[in-house]
């Protein structure tokens, strides 16, 4: 009578462990950069929200539909654009800067805000166009 094998041999176990190690190293290298990609995608979303909400706000002002949010003249340096965001506050860990500034803004003037996310490890700056709505 022959003895039936029960379990795995040492060689089989070593092969499985080596294959799992190779797969793990490959997956780690592929997904290691996800936090940087997420930070850079987040800044694009913030800039898009700013541009879209400014356009909707301006459209409400010129058509008389809805209640537009007036921006103070300080908005041109991007320091007073918080009312344009859904939350009513600037997103955390992002900076908003307008290098040029526009003296004497009139309704309908377009200025740009550079959105930067270096505080959260991002490497991208995105420019958002904002249409000024006079108070």
Return the SS3 of 71.
coil
Q: Is residue 77 part of a domain?
A: yes
pLDDT in tens, 82-108: 888 888 888 888 888 876 656 667 777
Q: Are 71 and 98 in contact (CB under 8 A)?
A: no
Vertex 48: Cα angle to 40 and 134 (nearest 5): 135
Q: Is residue 15 part of a domain?
A: no
Comparing 4-13, 99-108, 114-123, which segment has the lowest mean pLDDT?
99-108
- Structural domain including 111 reads 33-131
Does some domain include residue 4? no
Query: Does residue 13 sit within a domain?
Result: no
Residue 52 domain-assigned? yes
Q: Report yes or no on 24 lying in a domain.
A: no
Count up the domains in the chain and report the number: 1
Domain annotation covers residue 61:
yes
């Amino acid at each position: 009578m022959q003895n039936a094998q029960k379990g795995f041999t040492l060689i089989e176990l070593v092969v499985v462990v080596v294959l799992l190690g190779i797969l793990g190293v490959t997956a780690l290298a592929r997904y290691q950069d996800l936090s940087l990609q997420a930070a850079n995608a987040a800044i694009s979303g913030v800039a898009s929200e700013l541009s879209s909400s400014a356009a909707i706000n301006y459209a409400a002002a010129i058509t008389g539909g809805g209640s537009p949010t007036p921006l103070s003249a300080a908005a041109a340096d991007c320091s007073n654009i918080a009312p344009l965001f859904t939350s009513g506050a600037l997103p955390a860990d992002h900076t908003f800067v307008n290098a040029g500034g526009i003296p004497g803004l009139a309704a309908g003037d377009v200025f740009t805000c550079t959105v930067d996310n270096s505080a959260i490890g991002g490497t991208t700056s995105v420019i958002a166009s904002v249409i000024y709505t006079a108070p």
